[in-house]
Amino acid sequence: MAEEVIKLGGKKKSIFLDKVKEIIPGGGNLNLCLTCGACSSGCPATGLANMDPRKFLRMAALGMDDAIINSPWIWMCTMCQRCVYVCPMKIDIPQLVFNARAAVPRDERPKGILGSCDMALRNESSSAMGTTPEDFEFVVGDVLEEYQESQPEFKDMQAPIDKQGAEFFLNQNSREPVTEPDELVPQWKVLHKAGVDWTYGSKGWGGENYCLFLADNEGWETITRRTAEKCDELGCKTYLNTE
């Protein structure tokens, strides 16, 4: 059986790794790896696609740019930061993963994430499902009325949209208003019982930012600014990211 041969010490430099070092403050500690394996031990993506964070980092250090960029594992990482938390050298592997994704031509990135990012960019809700502000307001109002009538103990419960001066501005998983509207209610009940002064925004309420996971910096910023600007417009003091 033929074996892959890895040659070390050649003239080829890792363009990918060097570029990332320039981007991350302090170089992201990428040269300080002890190969202890702590990162891999707690990573939920360890073992998927025959990869783990330690192996990924060593491949980057060896200049295996093509193998890294073409590995499906970079799209399996959740960038949860658990590896950074347990690493004794605090090496920023998620940032390395993010930039590996960014090195893939945009139209070749996973279609599901790509489509969700583009859909959120196309509508003012920032909904990955394409739900318009008008449709969102209708669903929220309809579900709220149903529960106010069917559960008298919550007859005074509110789910405000564009409430001026509310303490908290909440986002919302954009799938729930479309496919699981009843799942909106438990959060409303908690907020109601706690006496929280909150509101949704008619714009920028979509909770997911798939452009972040797509490594689309411009798209990520567009969606984040849309939400932040609506929050500021309403005069809310705190943005509460429920996702």
pLDDT in tens, 34-45: 889 999 998 999
Same domain, 84 and 26: yes
**Which among 104, 129, 149 is the end of a domain?**
104
Whether 8 is in a domain gets the answer: no
pLDDT of residue 9 exceeding 60, the answer is no
pLDDT of residue 10 exceeding 60, the answer is no
pLDDT in tens, 88-145: 988 889 988 998 999 999 999 999 999 999 999 999 999 999 999 999 999 999 999 9
What are the distances in angstroms from CA 8 to CA 11, 14, 30, 135?
A: 9, 12, 18, 58
Whether 51 is in a domain gets the answer: yes
* Alpha-carbon gap, residue 6 to 21, rounded angstroms: 23
Whether 9 is in a domain gets the answer: no
Asked if residue 127 lies in contact with residue 119, where contact means CB atoms within 8 angstroms, the answer is yes
- Dihedral in degrees, nearest 10, Cα atoms 51, 52, 54, 58: 20
Same domain, 172 and 63: no
Same domain, 135 and 83: no
Domain that holds residue 74: 15-104
Q: How many domains does the chain have?
A: 2
Same domain, 79 and 146: no
Same domain, 162 and 63: no
Whether 150 is in a domain gets the answer: yes
**Which among 104, 132, 162 is the end of a domain?**
104
Whether 4 is in a domain gets the answer: no
Secondary structure of residue 161 in the 3-state scheme? strand
Same domain, 182 and 164: yes
Whether 3 is in a domain gets the answer: no
Same domain, 91 and 162: no
Range with the lowest mean pLDDT among 14-28, 64-78, 85-99, 183-197? 14-28
pLDDT of residue 180 exceeding 50, the answer is yes
**Which among 70, 89, 104 is the end of a domain?**
104
* Alpha-carbon gap, residue 130 to 46, rounded angstroms: 33
Range with the lowest mean pLDDT among 20-29, 92-101, 133-142, 225-234? 20-29
Compute φ and ψ for 31, nearest 5 degrees. -90, 0
List CB contacts of 75: < 8 A, sequence separation 6 or more: 101, 109, 110, 113
Whether 147 is in a domain gets the answer: yes
Confidence of residue 6 (pLDDT cuts 50, 70, 90): very low
Whether 57 is in a domain gets the answer: yes
